[in-house]
Structure 1
Amino acid sequence: MTGGRRTGVLLATCISTLVVNANTSAVAILLPAISEDTGMSVNTLQWAVTGYSLVGAAVIITSGSLGDVFGRKRVFQAGLLLFVASCVLIALAGSGEMVIAGRMIQGAAGSTILACGMSLLTVAYSGQEQVRAVSLWGAAAAVGAAAGPLVGGVLVDLTGWQGLFWIDAGVAVGCMVLTFATVADSRAADRPRSVDYVGTVLVALTLGPLILALSKGSDWGWVSAATVGCILVAILAGTGFVAVERRVAQPLLDLALLRNRVLVGATVAILIGAGTINALMYVLSLYFQDPSTLGFSPLEAGLATLPATVGLVVSAPLVPRLAAKVGGRQVVGLGFLLTAVGFAWIGFADASWQYAAFFLPLVAAAVGMGLSNGPSSAAATAAVSADQVGEASGVSNMARYVGAAVATALAATLYSTVTANRIADGDGSAVALTAGLGTTAWVMAAISLAGVVMAVVMGRHREARGTLADAAAAAASASHTLPTSATPARSGAGAPEGSST
């Protein structure tokens, strides 16, 4: 492949990844404005966030498989086209239902763009050039995730909330043109041509009813027929998924990987980290903008959440060297402990708090997440053999989507239920909303402490050496797992293995 074509691959994949991650992190800031325009309650509109993650979880591994079988460029282009279509659908939406539908489509598009974009990069480059290209891709993912809330806040004031989606659609069209002109198609020649579609559907059938039960359980009653029915459907679908994965020729998930203690511990840690930080951003975006509390504009709310997003992205690249010195699982445990402290601090929130009181706990939670994310991702791909790295990466990427979907649904339910109950008891709106925020924060603190346990479960494994590429992988770890110097390489390629600690 010529230098110009490789540059085209790099630009198309990095720009599309930046846009997808910025779009994902911006939406929570937009929800109050969307609610005002469509008339749908913010509590129902949380499905614009959880639905995205739900579909993304079901599709991210399958989209990589589709690229291997039918051509990575072709599936990447399909992901971009789907992303454009979803942006247009959302921007033209006259109802909350259309926004939610568009976001669910966008979940499939975003996960496809991320999975196939990474594959295109690794095929186009090799050796140290591949390391640099993947590092730039990781940096683009991190910048997009950090910039999203601020960009969303700016655009709501300048163009209305629809502006974000029109701009994203235009950029995605540009990426499609660039991909068509410069990217050569490729597929995995030695891979069976079967794709585990049934597994994909069963993942959605497991997560969908579970999230619906979490979202509506307080309205329906936690022991009502509807809630119990949703949970039973989720259990049956999960059981069916296990049965299918044992028999299908090319499984979505190799169940043998679940016997790998390090991978399981790292994956659950990734799920907890992604879930709690997404839940925090969702609830704080609403709390900061509510007229009864701080009454921020969308732009001010984007600026207010910036310490968390920037703190996460800035601290993460500094972690690999620390992990190389003291051990990855020790850093993961410390990170979750610090995150739990940040959440617990917010749990003490009072209706009289101004924004300055939130600043330090936000930074603490973000830095803690930066400490835990990178080493957890590095452990996930370091704990398996070279031919299982792709599967391990896929499992950890799915875990991010699952964590975001479940924790955001849980946070939305806690926040709205506690608020409603306190108002029913005679409290003012500000006191009730602060109680909802505090309860949600305490629950997220408890979940974060479970991450400390996962650091113990992970046990000994190869450690990344703390290279520049490791720093880029750590920065991107909030949204995607990238290989590190601890990732075992196939013969004659890739990064060297780190030492065991």
Structure 2
Amino acid sequence: MAPDPTAEQVGPATASARGVLAATCLSTLIVNANTSAVSILLPAISADTGMDVTTLQWAVTGYSLVGAAVIVTSGSLGDVFGRKRVFQLGLLLFVVSCVFIGLSSSGEAVIAGRFVQGAAGATILACGLSLLSVANSGQEQLRAVSLWGAAAAVGAAAGPLLGGVLVEVTGWQGLFWVGALVALACMVLTWKTVSESKDENRSRSIDFAGSGLIALTLGPVILALSKGSAWGWVSPATIGCLAVGVAAGFAFVVVEKRVAVPMLDLGLLRNRVLVGSTVAILIGAGTINGLMYLVSLYFQDPATLGFSPLQAGLATLPATVGLVAVAPLVPRLAKRLGGRQVIGIGFLITAIGFAAVGLVESSWTYGAFVLPLIAIAVGMGLSNGPSSSASTACVPAEQVGSASGVSNMARYVGAAVATALAATIYGAVIADRTAQGESTADALAAGLGTAAWVMAAFSVAGVVMAVVMGRHPAATGTLDDSAASAAAHTHTLPTSATARAAAGAGPE
């Protein structure tokens, strides 16, 4: 979650604060690199384990599903039982999951390990940022959080390339062995340099029921999206899964109204700006994850471009690096034009980029993808930063932590649902076109194109959301705002707009 302005803070930078900075930045870098790299690994994992890549999408969606259920609760656990203790537990789980996946010989085991890794990654991010925020104060806190955001952005951008390099050099298992070693180093660094902290004034009530119901809501829905084409969209199995998800969603609302400290303050849902920015964040996270899944498979398929994992990692750079590169320029643009306007423009450009991919033909070479990928990256860079900034600038200071928790959960939900939907559409269209007698290359192009049109439709919905979300304080375009914007596709960080809102500044 974003640092809470009401949280307890210690004095200026100390040796402990520097240790927290090193441990948290290194851990968020490797977690985000690991997360963004996995799509590149799927064809290699499929070839090694024999599991088809459509089923292996659970290695991506399962991670996000568990992350959505855990990210808020893990932060609460840290507040109650000690942030260092829970952060270390997250690192230990990450090491265990990496080792388990690295030793796995079946696709089922890889997927199981990724479920555990989703809990570990969410815990590391939530508690790491909390540790960082309470170990510093004032300008030192802003600087530390900005460096953390930069590390998160670099990790997410470099992940696909790192994954491609390691597949070539060590096999797909190499990514997880490297992750285990880095997490171990973070554990040692944390043990030696980081002091324990907790919120002594917080209720010891933890909303475990809410976490379980989030998972029970998302899991059946994603299963229905993944298997609906094979089962039949109106089959008893598909309808049953959707019914379980809907029932669990209603139960979640009931529970959140009754627990002492809910993981989601339902009162926040009356805030139009927060709801709008959260939906925009969900769409942005969903479309970028769906894109990475699709192009990673399409670029590496022998019937299309036939790239190696390393070549595929390099080929995604216009999207991954472009997304981060454009983001630091966004706060100043938002200050000049207004956050809503920049969000809307961003989603419009993203929609155009996806529509261009939707026109894909089997004869396309990589060069035909470059401009659409750049357009998607620029659009997402424009929309992500202001959406994330709005989510913490539209609430009172005491609700910033809760609002950031909502937006961070939305990222995981968007990633899980959109990746499952993209995988289903891609696989179903390929199977249908192949059955009609089309060549493998034409069927693959049709699958990618259809999924891209769906992502374009979601992006158009983002334009609509920007129009209706309402006005809010805009960031002023500081260096810290740029770092928060660069990290916005992975985590919500406070901006100068957050501080202005806390000080009672008016809307943009």
Following TM superposition, by how much is the alpha carbon of 1:98 offset from its aligned partner in structure 2, in angstroms?
A: 0.5
Indicate yes or no: 2:375 matched with 1:364: yes
Contact 1:57 1:399 in 2 (8 A): yes
1:24 maps onto 2:31 in alignment: no
**What is the aligned partner in structure 2 of residue 268 from structure 1?**
279
CA contact (8 A) 1:17 1:141 kept: yes
Q: Does 1:353 align with 2:360?
A: no
Aligned amino acid, residue 58 of structure 1: A
The correspondence of residues 68-467 of structure 1 with structure 2, limited to 5 A, is: 68-467=79-478
| Residue 507 of structure 2 corresponds to residue 500 of structure 1 | yes
Pick which of 455-464 and 388-397 moved more: 455-464
User: Which amino acid is the alignment partner of residue 500 of structure 1?
Assistant: P
**CA-to-partner distance for each residue in 1:225-259, whole Å, 9 max, x for gaps?**
10000000001000000000001100010000000
Once the two structures are superposed, what CA deviation does each residue of 1:198-226 show, in whole Å capped at 9, x if it has no partner?
Answer: 00000000000000000000000001110
String of CA shifts for 1:44-81, please: whole Å, max 9, x gaps: 00000000000000000000000001000000000000
Amino acid at match of 2:493: L
Partner of 2:204, secondary structure, is coil
Q: Deviations over 1:431-483 (max 9, x none)?
A: 00000000000000001000001101221111111110000000000100000
User: 162-171 vs 481-490, which deviates more?
Assistant: 481-490
- Looking at structure 2, the residues matched to 176 and 483 of structure 1 have their Cα atoms a distance apart, in angstroms, of 27
Secondary structure of 1:334's match?
Answer: helix
Asked if the contact 1:327–1:463 (Cα under 8 Å) also holds between the matched residues in 2, the reply is yes
Structure 1 residues without counterparts, runs of 5 or longer: none
Say whether the 8 Å CA contact 2:473–2:500 is kept in structure 1: no
Cα offset for 1:426? 0.3
* Cα gap change, 1:288 to 1:275, in 2 (>3 Å): same
Residue 11 of structure 1: aligned partner: 22
Structure 1, 453-462 or 467-476: larger mean CA deviation: 453-462
2:496 partner SS? coil
Runs (4+) of structure 1 exceeding 4 A deviation are 495-499
Separation in 2, partners of 1:242, 1:7: 41
CA distance in structure 2 between the partners assigned to 1:274 and 1:75 by the alignment: 26
The corresponding residue for 1:472 is 483
Looking at structure 2, the residues matched to 489 and 304 of structure 1 have their Cα atoms a distance apart, in angstroms, of 40
Aligned to 2:7: none
Q: Check if 1:62 corresponds to 2:41.
A: no
Tell me how far apart the structure 1 counterparts of residues 500 and 355 of structure 2 sit (CA, whole Å).
41
Conservation of the 8 A alpha-carbon contact between 1:485 and 1:497: no
In structure 2, give the amino acid aligned to 1:477: A
Instruction: Name the residue aligned to 1:53.
Output: 64
Distance 1:303 1:440 in 2: 22
Q: Distance in 2 between matches of 1:236 and 1:361?
A: 40
Pick the aligned partner of 1:34 from 45, 69, 93: 45
2:376 partner amino acid: A
Whole-angstrom distance in 2 between the partners of 1:466 and 1:391: 24
Name the CA distance, whole Å, in 1 between partners of 2:89 and 2:469. Answer: 37
**Structure 1 residues 347 and 497, CA, compared in 2 at 3 Å: closer, same or farther?**
farther
Q: Is the 8 A contact 1:485 1:498 kept in 2?
A: no
Counterpart CA distance in 2 for 1:367 and 1:261 is 26
- Note the alpha carbon deviations across 1:157-215, whole angstroms, 9 max, x for none: 00000011001100000000000001111111111001000000000000000000000
How far apart are the structure 2 equivalents of 1:236 and 1:499?
A: 40
Q: 1:489 to 1:107 in 2, by over 3 A?
A: farther
Q: TM-score, normalised on structure 1?
A: 0.98
**Distance (whole Å) between structure 2 residues aligned to residue 310 and residue 202 of structure 1:** 36
Q: Unpaired runs of 5+ in structure 2? A: 1-10
SS across alignment from 1:332: helix
State the secondary structure of the residue aligned to 2:497: coil
Distance 1:75 1:238 in 2: 28
SS in 2 for 1:487: helix
| Cα distance in 2, alignment partners of residues 148 and 368 from structure 1 | 20
Conservation of the 8 A alpha-carbon contact between 1:386 and 1:489: no
CA displacement, residues 308-327 of structure 1 (integer Å, 9 cap, x when unaligned) = 00010000111000001110
Amino acid at match of 2:507: S
Q: Tell me the percent identity.
A: 73
Partners of 2:500 and 2:87 lie apart in 1 by: 25
Amino acid at match of 2:481: D
